[in-house]
Amino acid sequence: MKSSEQISRCRQGLGEDLGELQSAIDQIQRSSFLVRASLYWRERQCGKEGCRCRKGKLHRSRAISVRRDGQSRVISLRGIDLLKVSAGIEHYQRFREKSLEIKRLMSEILKNVSLLGKLQEVDLEGFRR
Residue type, 71: Q
- Would you count residue 109 as binding Zn ion (CB under 5 A)? no
- Residue from the set 3, 31, 46, 81 that interacts with Zn ion by CB under 5 A: 46
Closest contact distance (angstroms) between CB of 28 and Zn ion is 45
- Would you count residue 110 as binding Zn ion (CB under 5 A)? no
- C-beta of residue 106 within 8 angstroms of C-beta of residue 7: no
How far is Cα 97 from Cα 6, in angstroms, rounded to an integer?
Answer: 31
Contacts of 82 (CB under 8 A, 6+ apart): 62
- Would you count residue 58 as binding Zn ion (CB under 5 A)? no
Query: Which span (5-13, 32-40, 45-53, 67-75) binds Zn ion, by CB under 5 A?
Result: 45-53
Closest contact distance (angstroms) between CB of 60 and Zn ion is 11
Residue type, 34: L
Q: Is the dihedral of CA 32, 33, 37, 39 positive or negative?
A: negative
- Would you count residue 53 as binding Zn ion (CB under 5 A)? yes
- Would you count residue 60 as binding Zn ion (CB under 5 A)? no
Q: Which residues would be at the binding site for Zn ion (CB under 5 A)?
A: 46, 51, 53
